[in-house]
Structure 1
Amino acid sequence: MTWTGFAAVFVAFFLTHSIPVRPSVKSRLVGILGPRGFSLGYSVLSVGMLALLIWAAGQAPYVQLWPQMEWQRHVVHLGMFAVCLILALSIARPNPFSFGGAQNARFDPARPGIVRWVRHPILLSLALWAGLHLLPNGDLSHVILFGVLGGFAIVGRAILNRRKQREMGRAAWQTLWTRVSDAPLGHAPRSWTGLATRLGLGIGGFVLLLWAHPVVIGVTAL
């Protein structure tokens, strides 16, 4: 694949990921597919485009910037284990500050869970994933890939904060932010069983990633 082809895949990736921030396009698709159908279809599209982008980076001309070392893989393993736990504790849970939250009306600022530590856990996970994968992938195409995606996650935090302030009203957003900041750093979960289940899913997801990495990406993670 040429650099032009790699750039074209990158453009397609960002075009598809702009759908949720385009109200006219999103509302039209939701009207056709329904809310659940849109969520499922967009999730599949997102994963597929990410896999295509990673594949394209592997097919682009190889230009080494730094060599891969064994310790880099160990750092990635530890970091990705943390990423899996963060995702398990945050996906489909109330979070009025970020995207991906579920049943936000049930959000309790006195018991915010992981939101007390980080307002945008999914964006943090993306930034960590990208930054960690920069270590063992010191060739130009992968540096571009993970550098851009990591930067996108970092910039996305500010974009989401501004959008949520517009939706909620700046005063209401600031009040809620302050209440969450004043909550205890550690508090009892609503359900210990639910916490254990999510932690188990995080561990299982990490094991699944190790197994699926050579199948999906074509390179063993071990």
Structure 2
Amino acid sequence: MVWLVVGLVLFLGVHSVSIVSPQGRHALAGRLGEGGFKGLYSLLSFVGLVLMVWGYGLARQAPVVIYTPPTGLRHAALLLMVPVFVLLLAAYLPGRIQRATRHPMLLAVKLWATAHLLANGTLADVLLFGGFLAWAVADRISVKRRAAAGLLRNAPALPGSAANDAMALVAGLAIYAALAFWVHAWMFGVRPLG
């Protein structure tokens, strides 16, 4: 469980620089240079991700059950997961989905984490998915505050298109189907539809 927590703290900590200090990312990039900042950010994120995955795998070998979800919640989790990959792709494919949700990636993380908390009740699940849910909520609040204070430095908006929405929808649903029917069982040993 220790490695899971260390990985979570490292991964989510790196991704929380702007939450904790709205000017923090720019100050660090100023000190390290943009390339140095991105390199350090990527390295720490990767190490955190590896430790998190490894720690979660270790924790699953001796699970500490906090709650046992009823079957109905597992079905609800499957439904909550349907838009997740559509939203993830919409974050990079400007269109109506991106405009309507404003921050599709954060919404996708919130839905993904909530779905997994509904379907899983071990301590490792609560730490992993609860941590990501708390981070996504905090980041969304932070984004609103930074935008209101004029502290967000957004890249120029790319033109949106219906084709981007169609690509996000078709590819997102295809990824969902592949994960639900095959990939999730292969990667994690759990069959969501089995």
Normalising by structure 1, report the TM-score. 0.63
Determine the structure 1 residue equivalent to 2:190.
219
Distance 1:5 1:152 in 2: 19
Q: Which runs of 5+ in 2 are unaligned?
A: 19-23, 153-158
Q: Please tell me the residue identity of whatever aligns with 2:185.
A: P
CA contact (8 A) 1:58 1:142 kept: no
2:15 maps to a residue whose letter is H
Aligned runs of 1:43-82 on 2, under 5 Å? 46=45, 49-50=48-49, 52-60=51-59, 61-82=62-83
CA positional deviation for 1:160: 1.0
In structure 2, the partner of 1:204 is 174
Decide whether aligned partners of structure 1 residues 13 and 194 sit closer, same or farther in structure 2, where only a CA change above 3 A counts.
closer
2:2 corresponding residue in structure 1: 4
- The structure whose Rg is larger is 1
2:163 is matched with which residue: 179, 184, 193?
193
Tell me what 1:31 maps to. 35
* Paired amino acid for 2:164: G
TM-superposition CA deviations, 1:16-50 (whole Å, max 9, x none): 324675324445363359xxxx49x84x9757744
How many Å apart are 1:51 and its aligned residue? 6.0
The runs of at least 4 consecutive aligned structure 1 residues that moved more than 6 Å come to: none
Identity %: 31
After superposition, the C-alpha distances for 1:137-177 in whole angstroms (9 at most, x for unaligned) are 111221122112111111111111122233369xxxxxxxx
Q: 1:141 aligns with which of 124, 127, 136?
A: 124
Amino acid at match of 2:108: S
Given the alignment of the two structures, is residue 129 of structure 1 paired with residue 132 of structure 2, yes or no? no
Structure 1 unaligned residues grouped into runs of 5+: 94-111, 170-188
Q: Which residue number in structure 2 is paired with residue 13 of structure 1?
A: 11
Letter of the aligned partner of 2:118 in structure 1?
Answer: L
| Cα distance, 1:87 vs structure 2 | 2.3
Which residue of structure 2 lines up, in the alignment, with residue 88 of structure 1?
A: 89
Q: Matched residue pairs, number?
A: 177
1:81 partner letter: V
Relative to 1, partners in 2 of residues 1:74 and 1:55: Cα closer, same or farther, differing over 3 Å?
farther
CA deviation after TM superposition for structure 1 residue 134, in Å: 0.6
TM-score, with structure 2 as normaliser: 0.71
Question: Separation in 2 of the partners of 1:9 and 1:114?
Answer: 32
SS of the equivalent of 1:200 reads helix
1:52 is displaced (CA, Å) by 4.2
CA contact (8 A) 1:54 1:145 kept: no
